[in-house]
Amino acid sequence: MPVKKRKKDFTLSEKLYIPEIMKGLGLTLKHMFKPKVTMEYPEVKFNPPAAFRGRPVLVQEENGVERCVACGLCARVCPALAIEVQASETNLDKERFPERFEINMIRCIFCGFCEEVCPEEAIVMSKDYELVFRNRNDAIFGKDKLLVPIAKLHDRLEFLRNFK
């Protein structure tokens, strides 16, 4: 096997890397006086733009009823099979409503297909990005956690109207 010999004996001037190191340190020093680019995250919260695809939520109208008509399109389009909908009938105008609506947040890949496919704009991606669970059961979000009042989702609904 051919073994390559490497040049290892540098002269003294070659061994002195100090100018190179000083150059790096100089740049760092210069940047100390420039504005910071970092964010001190847990103390300062990051405010995402309207386009942000965070946790999917169900839109709750002002009268407290969800928009969802339990058509099940979101469950069908979901690539990760994270959504489960069980439909039931209601006396309201929309006739059908989801008796049970569950999103398994461990499975969800935040692709936004559910929002895209929804004919009623009933499921949208919110700005929530802090998703921590203590166990797997907590990660299955039912209607109690998914329903969000429409007042909090105006940003996103407007974004969808403009850019989709």
Nearer to other proteins, 67 or 127 (CB): 127
Residue closer to other proteins by CB (options 116, 121) is 116
d(CA 99, CA 97) in angstroms, rounded, equals: 6
Q: Are 83 and 113 in contact (CB under 8 A)?
A: no
DSSP state of 135: S
* Residue 77 binds other proteins, judged by CB under 8 A: yes
Which region among 62-70, 90-98, 105-113, 136-144 touches other proteins (by CB under 8 A)? 105-113
CA dihedral 32, 38, 44, 46 (to 10 degrees): 160
CA distance from start to end of the chain = 61
> Is 40 an interacting residue with respect to other proteins (CB under 8 A)?
no
β-bridge mates for residue 66, sequence order = 60
Nearest distance in Å: CB 51, other proteins? 4
Is residue 37 near other proteins by the rule CB under 8 A? yes
Joined together, the tokens standing for residue 113 give 């297909």
- Tell me, residue by residue from 106 to 125, as one string, x for binding to other proteins by CB under 8 A and - for no binding: ---xxxxx--x--------x
Tell whether residue 134 is a contact of other proteins (CB under 8 A): no
Positive or negative, the Cα torsion across 146, 81, 74, 93?
negative
Sole window of 20-28, 92-100, 131-139, 147-155 interacting with other proteins (rule: CB under 8 A): 20-28
Q: Is 82 in the site for other proteins (CB under 8 A)?
A: no
Nearer to other proteins, 24 or 119 (CB): 24
- 55 vs 78: CA distance, rounded Å: 14
User: What residues line the site for other proteins (CB under 8 A)?
Assistant: 1-4, 6, 17, 20-21, 23-24, 27-28, 37, 48-49, 51-53, 77, 79, 109-113, 116, 125, 162-164
